[in-house]
Structure formats: C-alpha cells, structure tokens
Structure 1
Amino acid sequence: MEHKKGKDQQPAGSLQHRRTFIRSSALAAVFIPQLFTAGTAGAADFILDVTARPQEFDVVVYGATPAGIAAAVAAGREGKRTVLVEPLQIAGGMMSGGLSFSDSNQMAREALRGIFEEFHLRVEKHYKDKGVQLPYEVGVKDNRPWTYEPHVAENLFLTMLQEAGVTVVLGEALQRVRKKGKALQWLRTASGKTFAGKVFIDTTYEGDLMAAAGVKFRVGREGRSEFNEALAGAAYPKKPVKLDVRDVQGKPLPYISGTQRPPEGQGDDLIMTYSFRFCFSTDPANQVPFTKPENYNPAEYELVRRFLKAYPDTERLIDLYQLPGNKFDGNNGIGLQLSIGLVGLNAEYPNGSASRRQAIWNAHTEYCKGLFYFLCTDPAVPEHIRSKMKGLGYAKDEFAKFGHFPPVLYVREGRRMEGAYFLTEKDILHDVEKPDPIGIGSFPVDSHDCQRIATEDGFINEGTIFPKRLGNRKIGRPYQMPYRAITPKAEQCTNLLVPVCLSSSHVAFSSVRVEPAWIVLGQSAGVAAAEAIDEGSTVQQVDYKKLAARLVKSGQELNIPVVD
C-alpha cells in the first residue's frame, strides 16, 4: 500500500543548538498563533475549506507570504493546478500585515518587473479609482516610497490569486510530510488535510517545509573567516550608550539580552531583530486608542525610562512612514538605540517548538502594547514624545478581526538553506553575474541589531549592518540571483524550491531578505515548478534556457541594469 512505499516525516520538537550557526536536517516544529484558529472561513468565497481526503495538485505552495502569492499566481498562470496553504488567517504575509512602505525605494526598480510591478500598478489603479492622488507613479522608476494600506494589499493579492485559479487554504499549519525516495509526495496539516503535488514550494519566512523535508539549513551568523566576508559576525557600528542598566540586585534590566561582548567577526546563533509593522491612524474617527494592557507592569520599561531621562532630546522610538488614508506604517528603527523590536530575544524562534515560538510571539506583542501605553502616559517620557504618541492610535479599519493589532510577526530572518549554490557577500557586492539568473536583487546589505549587551557603564547594540548605497540612487549594487540558490541539493530533495529561506550566508541574506526580491524569486519559483513538470524532470535538472525564456515571457528581468 501507499504508506509502505514512502516515509512520513514529522516536525521534531527539539534540536541540538550550538553557539555557532546551526546546521541541521532535523525536522521543524510548526506554529499557529493562538489568536488564529484552524478552519476559520477566509476573506473571499474562493478560499476553500478542503476536505480531509488527499487533494491532488500540480504545485503545492506552503506559505501565503508575498513570495508565496507570486509563486502560486505564476504557477497558476502557467496552467498548473495550484494550491496555496497558509498557517495564519491572512494572505499576503507582511505586506498585508503592516509592512506598507515598500523597500523597493532602495532598489533598482527598473529591474523589478513581473508580478511585483503588476501588484503596484494595481495599487495605483485602486487609489486612482477612489480619487486618491498617490505621491508617486509606478511608471517612474525613481526612489520615492511606494505605499499602500494593508487591507488594500490583502484584497489585491486575493484578487490575483482568484484570477489565476489558485486554491487558497488559510489557517492550516504543516504537521508532517511524506517523501518517496528524494521526492516529496504530500504535506499534511494539523487538522488532517492532505495536499499532494508534483512540485512543492516553501515560501514561509521560517523555512518550515524545507526543514520538514530533510533539507539542510543554517540559523545564525557565520564568522568572518568562513567565507571571507568583511560584514560577517559580530559587529559594533552603533555608539555605546552610557547609562545605569542594572537593578538593585545588580542584574541587567529587562530587554538587555546579554552580558558578554563577543569579538568582532565572531559567528554565533543570533539573528536580526523581529518586530511588528504597525498601521497607525492620525484620524480620531479612525482610531483605536492605546489602552493599558491587562498585565501591564511599568517596571518592564525601566530601561526606556532611564534612557529617556538621560537622553531627553531623543526624537522618537518608532520609525513612522506616511501612508494613504492619514495612516502611518510603524517600524523598528534600525538606527535607534531603543525601538519596538525585542533585540536578541528571538534566536530560538526559527527552530523553536510551537510553544516556544508562541512565547516569543507573545513577548513581542505584550512588549509593544505596554510600550505604547507607557509612551502615552508615563511622566518620565518627554512631552514631545508623549504628545506624538497620543495623536496616534491603531487604525480602526485595519486588522479588525485581529483586534487591530498586526497579525504577522516580522520574521526578518529564519532558517537559511544550504542548497545547490550558497550565496555569500561576494555574490552580492562583487561577483554579481551568474549563468542561471532568475531575477535581480539590489537592496543594500542591511541587518537590524542582533543583541543588546550590558557594559560596565551602559549598553551597546551589536550586529547592525547599516546599508551602503550607490551614489545618488541610494540603492544597493544590482546582482543576479541564481536559480541554484533556491534549489536544494539533489541528494536531499528533488521536487522542492525555496525562494524565501534560500541558500545564503547571513550577510547575503541581509540583502535578499526584502519583499520585492522575494516576490521576484517567488514568481520565478512558480514558473520553474511549471517547467519541471512539463519536462518531467527534477527541479535541479530543469533546462535553464527553457526556464529563462519562460521567465522573460512572464515579465521577469534577468539582466543587470546600468545604474548611476
């Protein structure tokens, strides 16, 4: 029978951690925030509640991130029966979940074509039809911010999926997979729904399907010497902060993540800060106020209180980007000493058990809710900050079914595959041409803090990589992203593509890690899946010339643009 021919693989609840980067083919636990329950009806009629019997598809995409949507839409447009499975109750990942300030403003937009450009043209038309004049034009490839409201992004993504004939299943988290030899046969969710396919695409931010399939991966930062990366390992570009950061027992205050200062260039298991991307409103008629959380403890914000007392001229603790509709996108400030991210407290998330991930997610939620109330009410907060925070509130018309709080945690970095080609700093900054390009990247290498260390006289934030931009364009150097970087090694899995947690070092990932690049890679993965099916080949053996022609026909740009 079928079960005798293959092998079921279940996510494991524990992994062997090392203080250097983690390499593992172990299987990953999968996570659904408790706020979202499996099986809840989706946001559109075409989102189906699939029955428990196995469902047969050509392409199975796991993770309705923007890359996942691009992959599913591309595969659907290539005539393949495609399903998009997502553990959360929202399609669109961070772009539907609060990230409304497009990172493409730091990229060579003339190389961002295909589904990425199409999405933004749809955004532009949506607002034009409403009589709203946006402060940019998609046809003009300059570096003005391209912005949109989260619900607009979600609705447009759903429309594109529907038009492409994609089956969308929300609220279904991966439980196990089955492989026959080196090929995935199906994935099963926690509720017992089973999705069989010819080619699978992992577009999660965490890399959960990749890990469950037995593909090797890394978590953490390489040391500077491993790949001769000047930007690798521990780094101290931020100035130290002089401040008393210990309590009466001499212990570090909350939100100090470490006490040992590693030498520059040393690798470890740390990753860049997570946070939420908030959608705030300045319109009193469209605001939900910041209220006192049930478990609010002002002592938790003693570090913030002391910092603001010592540095009262601090302008802000949140980066705010103007959006349509009198709204702001609230982001963790990469250049700020204190902001809305929990620096250094996320290292266990990528490989964590469901309960451990839930605890980390909850900690980020509770921290932000308490911080906003603190900044609005605490007398230690300078008046200019209190006044600005009191003028904000959660946007009432965003995330209503999630209590107006962002439903997606900004997992800037999860697992990273060790695939057929391993991208490093030289591929991003120096050796930028590849024989098998599937898209162009150009975001500057950019990492948020990785830890906050107590020092003798204060603290220092460690791990930031500040972006280095080209000339007047203020973009990163364009480079070709190779197909081999999204394919596992053939001996590990022959019908899986991984465009988000692709094969790369921490430094290289710090450039690829933005939604525009992931959308490009996702679209190319969807087209590559169709090509593999049509050729009857493994993903590693796809005829690149045929794939390239198909990618160009789908609107992708494969050539490096000439930039000033």
Structure 2
Amino acid sequence: MKQYDLVIYGGTAAGITAAVQASIMGKSAVVIEQSRRIGGMTTGGLGDTDVGMKEAVGGLSLEFYQRIAQKYAQDGACWLFEPKVALEVLQDWVAEHNLEVVCGERLELKNGVTRQGSRITSITMESGKVYHGKMFIDASYEGDLMGHSGVSYVVGREPNARYGETLNGIQPGPELNELPPGIDPYVIKGMPSSGLLPRVNADRGGDAGEGDRKLQAYNFRMCLTDNPGNRLMISKPEGYNEADYEILFRAIEQGQRSRFFKLNRVTADKTDSNNNSGISTDFNGMNHSYPEADYAARDKIWEAHRIYQQGVVWTIQNHPRVPEEIREAYKPWGLPLDEFTDSGHWPSQLYIRESRRMTGDYVVTEHDVRREHPVPDSAGMGSFAMDSHHTQYYVNEDGHVSTEGGFYIRLAEPYPISYRAMVPKRSECTNLIVPVCLSATHAAYGSIRMEPVFMILGQSAAAAAVLALEADGMVQDVEYGQLQAVLLESNQVLYTTGLSRG
C-alpha cells in the first residue's frame, strides 16, 4: 500500500501550487483532478486576472504570473494571457517537480472518505482507486472532500445579523438592479395569469439581510477571437429554448444596446469574455442545487449552462429580435481553434464562483476584509473587491423584473487571511486543510474567491501540512511562527505593513 505525505484533491491552480510547495519541502504528494485538464479557471478561460492589488501577490502565485510573462517574452508579471499558455506554465511545474497528477478521477460521494478517529486515512474514487495519505488538502471548487469528511460547512448566504455584517444575505433593491427599468415579468406582457417568465421569482424570498441558500451565478469565461483564420463560429446549440432569452429581448426593447458579454482582450485577437450586465452570460438562479448535487445532476447543470451561454452568443449575433446594429457589433466573435482543442474549443471549466464554505473555529467576515480587527496569523492576503454576481431575478416593488444578489465594494488596502480559516474544527478533522472552500461568509468570500489568492493559499496550505506532518500531525497545532518563517522564506506576502516578503 502506497501512502503519500499529502493527498491533494482538486487539480485547480491552488492544487498544483500546493503540490509544488510539497515537492520543494521534500514531501511526496499526489494531485487528483476530476476533469482531464489541470488548472481550473486559471487555464479555463479566466485570462483577465482578478488580481486586485498586485503588491499583495507573492510566492508561487507571483511566480506563476512571472512565468506567464516569460512565455510572452515580457518582463515582470503578466496578468493577461491565453488559456493554453496558462496550461503550459502549470505543465512546466508538473514536469520540473516530477509531480504525480491523476486526471479523470472523482471522489466516491457516498462512502469515499475513510477515517480513523479525527483523521482521514484514505479516499476512494468512483473507479475504485484508493489513495492513502498522512495529510489531505481539498483544493477543489466544490469542497467535496471537505463536505464528505464530517466537516461543518454552509451553502448560500448567511443573514447579516449572524456576524454583524452589512453585505450578507438578501440584497436590497431595486436600486442595485442591473437591468433596464420597466421589463414586464409575465409570459404575456401585462397578464399575470400567463405566468412569470422563466427564472423570474415572484419576490426576493425574504427581507433585505435575511439568509438563504441561494448562490451567486455561474457561467463560463469564454475565450473568443475575431481572427477569421483561427475562428469557429458558435452555432445555435441543440436544446436551445427561445423562452430562456425573453428577458434579453425585453431588455433590448427597454433600451439596452451593449454589455451583453465582455470583450476584454488578453492578446491582440483573443478575449476573456465574462458576464457584463443583468442579462448576459450568467445563468442566474440555475446553480443553487449544485454544491450538494451528485455528479449526474451536476453534469446536467453544466450542460444547461453551456446551452444557455452558447445560446446567448448565437442570439446576440443572429436572432431577428436583436437589432441589426447589435448583431453586427458582436458578429466577429467566435471560438479560437487553438484553444480547448480537447473540448470542442469550449471552456472545460464551469466557473464555480461559490459552493460549499467550511465553518471552522475562525470565520472570515467582511470585518476582516475591511481590516476592522487584527489577524495575527496571516496565511496570505486578499485584495480584490467584495464581489458577488446576482443570485436571481424577481418581480420588484414596481412590478418589473429585477436582479438580486449583486454587490461590488472596492477595498482601500489588502487584508490578511487567517491560517485558521483553512483549518476545520479540531473535533471534526485534524489532518485536512481547505484553501479554496475555506471558512468565510458569503460577503467575505466574494473577495477571497480569486485565482491569485487560491494559489497563495494553496502554497500556504501545503507548507502548513508539511509542518504538521513533522510535528504531531494535527493541522490545528501548527506553530504559526514556524509557518510564518517558511512562508516568508518562500516570498509570500503576509502583511503589507510591518512584515513584507522575506
């Protein structure tokens, strides 16, 4: 029986970074990735990096973006890049450190985690393969390993009252609406008896600040090109349902002429195309069951998002209810033939902006993000705005369709993220660290959930796991002074005042 020092579930950029750090510290590790492609969103189309404040990025995370720059023969760090180049950088790391990476293996969701007391001893895949480890890291976006290990977690939005926050729970409206005013919510305009449009709820589901289980929307970060020699046009997808785009048509009727999806160029002829308004590529309201769904149900959600988003592009480019000037403006864009060659040139990673969030002894809240109290055990820094995409459409007080759930609050400075936020409660598990689905509220996670931060925390999680392994084997007992020393030696940024990179 082979036993690894670290078993890392999730071949996201955070997972690969964790494995690199384990290798640097002389420990054996295996990375287990559900899909056929490593890197998660970093290689999955998110090439316009949500970096926040660059001075907060250090360690292997910064090295990744410096290596991107080297691929483009640039100096310093490069924050705009093609998916295939990001994949090359991670593959370089895998080769240089001789990392063991297993793709196409998924955790058995019913009985996939074996424990002895407070420790995980092995995890079993759907295929029957078993991976034994001394320490475990859940670097997945879904948090399946954490969620099936007896560790407490939440899904959705906490009420503001729970932690004394202002941004959590149901958001006030309709002042935060990102749709044109006046969109009729009924299938037949002005006729409530005809029923509500698809995905439109009768109300917000509660008062402002109340909690619920709704999630901010998912989508794909499309890499598009306007280079005819490297372009595959997006055709009308099989399963296209015109009713899914009625809000889009009515938004256009109410005056929307742009912002149907972003066209942020990452190179001269390629984009990272994200959601850009209240009716765009986000499939609002259609992901709420995803975190705790089984794989078959998740696959259906993935497919529904693909059909909807490809349908958005086709509709904007071709549908007769879209004015010709809008169609012509978006007509040049298609999928690059040299990207995602093993998935029909469509991104292989659905943007899981939020799933399970662990509930540890320490919960990061918007008070941490606003630096309203000290954090003495920083494992890395966040700096992006507190950012939530919409969770739903509903009929607002004026009787029109409105978005709900969105906020975007810029920060004045970076903030430290407590090591304790990656660690489960001692009574629940003592050899698991969670750098992605970590212990944070919906409001705070809206800032943390960025790829540079996930890489930062992945590296710190691996360093802490090694230190625990060399001590009493309990992640809760890692001596922070030792962890701090290792991280500063590794060029991590832990504080932007007082302490800096080592």
Normalization by structure 2: what TM-score?
Answer: 0.93
Relative to structure 1, the CA distance from residue 432 to residue 396 in structure 2 (aligned partners, 3 Å threshold; closer, same or farther) is farther
What's the secondary structure of 2:8's corresponding residue?
Answer: strand
Please list the CA deviations of residues 441-489 of structure 1 after superposition, one character each: whole Å capped at 9, or x if unmatched. Answer: 111111111111024532111111122243xxxxxx3111111110001
- Secondary structure, aligned partner of 2:272: strand
* Residue 261 of structure 1, CA deviation: 5.0
Task: Report deviation, 1:297.
Answer: 3.2
Counterparts of 1:147 and 1:380, CA distance in 2? 35
Distance 1:505 1:375 in 2: 36
* Other-structure match for 2:11: 64
Question: How many Å apart are 1:257 and its aligned residue?
Answer: 4.6
Q: Which residue of 2 aligns with 1:485?
A: 421
Amino acid at match of 1:113: G
Instruction: Confirm or deny: 8 A CA contact 1:186 1:197 kept in the other structure.
Output: yes
SS at match of 1:103: coil
Tell me the equivalent position of 2:334: 393
Write the mapping of 1:303-382 to structure 2, written as runs, cut at 5 A.
303-311=247-255, 313-333=256-276, 336-382=277-323
User: How far does the alpha carbon of each residue in 1:280-305 deviate from its partner, in whole angstroms, 9 at most, with x for none?
Assistant: 01100000111122223333322211
CA contact 2:121–2:132 (8 Å) conserved in 1: yes
Q: How does 1:186-225 map to 2 (within 5 A)?
A: 186-225=122-161
Specify the code of the residue in structure 2 equivalent to 1:203. A
**CA shift for structure 1 position 217:** 0.2
Residue 404 of structure 2 is matched in structure 1 by 462
Distance 1:561 1:492 in 2: 35
1:244 matched residue in structure 2: 184
Q: Which residue of 2 aligns with 1:40?
A: none
Tell me the equivalent position of 1:90. 37
Question: Following the alignment from structure 2 to structure 1, what is the Cα–Cα distance between the partners of residues 318 and 473?
Answer: 62
Shift >6 Å, 4+ stretches: none
Contact 2:56 2:493 in 1 (8 A): yes
Residue 85 (structure 2) aligns with: 152
Measured in 2, the distance between the counterparts of 1:286 and 1:309 equals 34
Q: Considering only aligned residues, what root-mean-square deviation do their CA atoms show, in Å?
A: 1.6
User: Counterpart of 1:512 in structure 2: which amino acid?
Assistant: I
Shift in CA distance, 61/280, structure 1 to aligned 2, threshold 3 Å: same
Among 357, 363, 366, the alignment partner of 1:416 is: 357
1:299 to 227, 234, 243: 243
1:7 corresponding residue in structure 2: none
1:79 — aligned with what?
26
**Counterparts of 2:241 and 2:424 in 1: how far apart (Å)?**
47
Residue aligning to 1:495: 431
Matches of 1:511 and 1:557 in 2, distance apart?
Answer: 17
Residue 523 in 1 paired to residue 438 in 2? no
State the number of aligned residues.
486
Contact 1:87 1:171 in 2 (8 A): yes
Tell me by how many angstroms 1:374 deviates: 1.2
Does the aligned pair in 2 maintain the 1:55–1:194 contact within 8 Å?
no
Q: What are the Cα deviations for residues 368-423 of structure 1, in whole angstroms up to 9, with x where unaligned? A: 12221111111221233211321000111111110111100000001010113111
* Aligned 8 A contact 1:417 1:503 in 2: yes
Alpha-carbon distance in structure 1 between the residues aligned to 2:399 and 2:158: 29
Check if 1:166 corresponds to 2:99: yes
**Residues 462 and 557 of structure 1: CA distance in aligned 2, closer, same or farther (over 3 Å):** same
Check whether the contact 1:432–1:480 (CA below 8 A) recurs between aligned residues: no
Question: Within 5 Å, which residues of 2 pair with 1:227-238?
Answer: 227-235=163-171, 236=173, 237-238=175-176
Deviation track 1:261-292 (CA, whole Å, cap 9, x = no partner) reads 52211111111111110000110000011112
Q: 1:548 pairs with 484, 488, 493, which one?
A: 484
The answer for unaligned runs of 5 or more in structure 1 is: 1-53, 129-133, 140-144, 471-476
User: Would you say the 8 A contact 2:247–2:279 is kept in 1?
Assistant: no
Q: 1-side partners of 2:299 and 2:446: how far apart?
A: 25
Give CA deviations for 1:162-218 in whole Å, capped at 9, x if unaligned.
Answer: 222320000000010110111011111111111111100001111100011110100
CA distance in 2, matches of 1:88, 1:59: 20
What stretches of structure 2 of length at least 5 have no aligned partner? none
Amino acid at match of 1:560: T
Amino acid at match of 1:243: I
Identity %: 38
1:265 to 198, 209, 213: 209
Q: Kindly state the Cα deviation for residue 260 of structure 1 after the two structures are TM-superposed.
A: 4.3
Give the whole-Å Cα distance in 2 for the aligned partners of 1:360 and 1:444: 28
Q: Give, in whole Å, the separation in 1 of the partners of 2:283 and 2:69.
A: 34
- Does residue 117 (structure 1) correspond to residue 58 (structure 2)? The answer is no
Deviations 1:493-518 (Å, cap 9, x if unpaired)?
01000010101111111111111111
Q: Which AA in structure 2 matches 1:255?
A: R
- Aligned mates of 1:540, 1:164 — CA distance in 2: 28
Q: What residue is the counterpart of 1:453 in the other structure?
A: 394
Structure 1 counterpart SS, 2:160: coil
Find the counterpart in structure 2 of residue 535 from structure 1: 471
Give the distance between the partners of 1:384 and 1:113, measured in 2 at CA: 45
Q: Secondary structure at the match of 2:236?
A: coil
Q: Give the counterpart of 2:72 among 123, 127, 134.
A: 127
Indicate which of 203, 218, 224 corresponds to 1:280. Answer: 224
Answer whether contact 1:318 1:340 (CA < 8 A) is retained. Answer: yes
1:367 and 1:494, CA in 2 relative to 1: closer, same or farther beyond 3 A? same
User: Helix, strand or coil: the match of 1:72?
Assistant: helix
Letter in 2 for 1:284: P
